[in-house]
Amino acid sequence: MNVMQLTREFSFNGMKLPDPNPNLSVEQAVRSMAAAYPEFTTAKVEPPRIVAGPNGGKVEVYRIKPVVETKG
């Protein structure tokens, strides 16, 4: 049996964002991108989709959805 490590990728507003550090958990990786994307501090991450990647590999894609807060 072969065990294959999947590449992680993040999706936000139609943009593909590379994994900042594969050693971090998904939540830690998203929070680490908050300097560039402040809305990530409260964002929700959807469960991954497995899609075909380059060279016949597979990519684990996590969709980041910002939480819309209303003041009132």
CA distances from 35 to 4, 32, 58 (A): 31, 7, 28
Instruction: With respect to residue 2, please indicate whether it lies within any of the assigned structural domains.
Output: no
Instruction: With respect to residue 71, please indicate whether it lies within any of the assigned structural domains.
Output: no
When pLDDT is averaged across residues 16-41 and rounded to a whole number, the result is: 94
- Which residues form the domain of 48? 7-65
**31 band by pLDDT with thresholds 50, 70 and 90:** very high
Alpha carbon 8 to its chain's center: 7
Instruction: With respect to residue 72, please indicate whether it lies within any of the assigned structural domains.
Output: no
Instruction: With respect to residue 46, please indicate whether it lies within any of the assigned structural domains.
Output: yes
Instruction: With respect to residue 20, please indicate whether it lies within any of the assigned structural domains.
Output: yes
Query: Is 0.85 surpassed by the pTM of this model?
Result: no
Q: How many folded domains does the chain comprise? A: 1
**71 band by pLDDT with thresholds 50, 70 and 90:** low
Mean pLDDT, rounded, of the chain: 89
